[in-house]
Amino acid sequence: MADKIKLFVNEVEVEVEAGKNLIDAIGAVGIEIPHLCYHPALGADGNCRMCLVGIKDGRPPLVPACKTRAMEGMKVLLDAEHIKKIQHDVMEFELINHPIDCPVCDQAGECKLQDYYMSYDQQGSRMTVPQVTKGKKLDFGSGVIHDQERCVVCGRCVRFCRQITKTGELGAINRSDDTRINIFPGRPLNNRYALNVVDLCPVGAMTSSDFRFKQRVWFLKKAPDICHGCAKGCNITIDHNRQKYEDDIIYRFRPLFNEQVNGYFMCDEGRLSYKQENNGRLTEARTSNNPRSINEILAASTKEIERAEKIVIALSPNCSLEQMVTVKALSDKLGATLTGYSEGYIKQGDGDDYLIQDDKSANRAGLHLLKIDNSLNTFENAMQEADLLLNFNNELTLSFEKRELSRLLNDTKVIAVTSHDTPLTAMADMAIPVASYSEYAGSVVNSDNILQSFGKAITKNIDLDDISIIAAKLGSPLQTPAERFAALQQIISALNEFEPDKIPAEGLNLNNSEAANVTA
């Protein structure tokens, strides 16, 4: 824990963390200082002047909170008359040339200008001269649409491109009320994190072309989750909504702050991976393209499993730990060969040194933790003799050429337990639909060995079982969530001190505790 210091806010004593600026320090105890340009990931810029606060008996008596470190005994004034006047005046300045097109602006509802207007301004415009008009609906590339009139020139987007992605595509040109954010001619935003400027923008100047006009934000329900786009496991907020007469649909992913995993940001690819949760899903059970009820297929599968002599069970590296341990128990009971072979999920050289990883699966570290074999040799040898492949969502067509896969699956029955209607599902003799990651709760271990758990975010109209329940129905000894968690606790000692559902939100770093466990 960091050192604590005591200071006064509006004459009331509060205890805050030392070494932070006033916005962060006082914000952590629930007192908000309005600010537009400051963002903890981008540092203080001090250009918006919205965070000016008074320091009683201080020199100078008026300071920008973003650039001022919290000090012992400081007497911060937030609701003094002269501070209120400053906030009010700054808001009036910001709104002089604002087009107030909130009805068509996607930011409406999560817009700092709207919030601060209601909290600090609440007055009509006094301007009588025509507003300065600027460019609207400019395509900045990478799915970012810019509206220069709505912009308050806080420079967060400019600083993001300079400091975080280090690509520097954006700049502020001209001066005073003619200042505008722009790209260099012919050089649009071209980095894999570009859509973060949409989140960063405190107003509606940066909007996403993908989300454009899809939903008003106040309709969206928010649920925390973990992105399954790559092995980084970025924390996300799933914004979803069930419209009248329709299904629960995800409209966007937004990064959720987690200091030890992804910070404040996420990559564009992961952000847009929400589409895979909505589309291309398998929703009905079937045997070679004839729809059947799930129970029928489950009964038929159970028979196949009893009849089969050599079973291979393939497991997706995207499965949660709970699912893996349940399938592993099933495999042990049946005496089957369990494999997590999934070379095709790794895109060599695709990752970078920031967030994006080569490995496009969410829980490969979990496979290693549970000591599930994922070598090509084991898989191929086992498939030679096998007469039944029970595939839990492992998209083998990524790892094998189609012809090679057909040769491997030749004279093998395939039961695919799958969330998506993929090429492999089409090749399967029987297909059982299951929930995808936004629809179940579980935990995954990321590439830095941090275990993170996530809850069920989406409830579809047809609420499918997840893999662990299907595995339990197929005869796995681990029938209940409590049994699964207990089995995990035996393997991962770090979980021992936690109850299920009580794993800390910031994740559990297994690096320290697991070292002893692995060697033992």
Partner 1 sequence: MGAKVKIIERKGSSLIERLYLIEIAKGMATTFGHLFRNLKDNRNLYVRHYPEVQPEIPARWRGRHRLTTHEDGTAKCVACFMCQTNCPAKCIMIEAGERVDGKAEKMPVKFHIDLLECIYCGYCVEACPLDAIRMDTGIFSVTDNNRESFLLGLEELLATPGACSEEEYKKGGA
* 192 vs 214, beta carbon nearer partner 1: 214
What is the pairing mode between strands 4-9 and 75-77? Answer: parallel
Q: How far is the CB of 113 from partner 1 (least distance, A)?
A: 16
Q: Which positions lie near partner 1, rule CB under 8 A?
A: 101-104, 108, 136-137, 212-214, 216, 218-219, 243-244
Residue 397 near residue 423, CB atoms below 8 Å: yes
Report how far residue 40's alpha carbon sits from residue 290's, in angstroms, rounded to the nearest whole number.
55
Q: How far is the CB of 102 from partner 1 (least distance, A)?
A: 8
* 30 vs 103, beta carbon nearer partner 1: 103
* 213 vs 410, beta carbon nearer partner 1: 213
Q: How far is the CB of 296 from partner 1 (least distance, A)?
A: 35
* 105 vs 469, beta carbon nearer partner 1: 105
Q: How far is the CB of 242 from partner 1 (least distance, A)?
A: 12
Q: How far is the CB of 140 from partner 1 (least distance, A)?
A: 16
Residue 181 near residue 152, CB atoms below 8 Å: no
- DSSP result, 282-336: --SEEETTEEE-HHHHHHHHHHHHHH-SSEEEEE-TTS-HHHHHHHHHHHHHHTP
Q: How far is the CB of 147 from partner 1 (least distance, A)?
A: 9
* 104 vs 482, beta carbon nearer partner 1: 104
E strands present in 193-267: 206-208, 221-226, 235-242, 248-255
What is the pairing mode between strands 75-77 and 138-141? Answer: unpaired
Two tokens, residue 204: 């509606």
Q: How many Cβ atoms from other residues are within 10 Å of residue 131's Cβ?
A: 14
Could you tell me which of 252, 42, 51 has the C-alpha nearest to residue 157?
Answer: 42
Q: How far is the CB of 213 from partner 1 (least distance, A)?
A: 4
* 184 vs 219, beta carbon nearer partner 1: 219
Residue 345 DSSP code: G
Residue 305 near residue 297, CB atoms below 8 Å: no
Residue 133 DSSP code: P
Residue 65 DSSP code: G
Q: How far is the CB of 38 from partner 1 (least distance, A)?
A: 29
Residue 439 DSSP code: G
DSSP 3-state assignment of 409?
helix
Contacts (Cβ under 8 Å, ≥6 apart) of 245: none
* 131 vs 167, beta carbon nearer partner 1: 131
Q: How far is the CB of 329 from partner 1 (least distance, A)?
A: 46
DSSP H or E segment with residue 78: none
* 207 vs 331, beta carbon nearer partner 1: 207
Residue 384 near residue 254, CB atoms below 8 Å: no
Residue 508 near residue 495, CB atoms below 8 Å: yes
* 108 vs 300, beta carbon nearer partner 1: 108
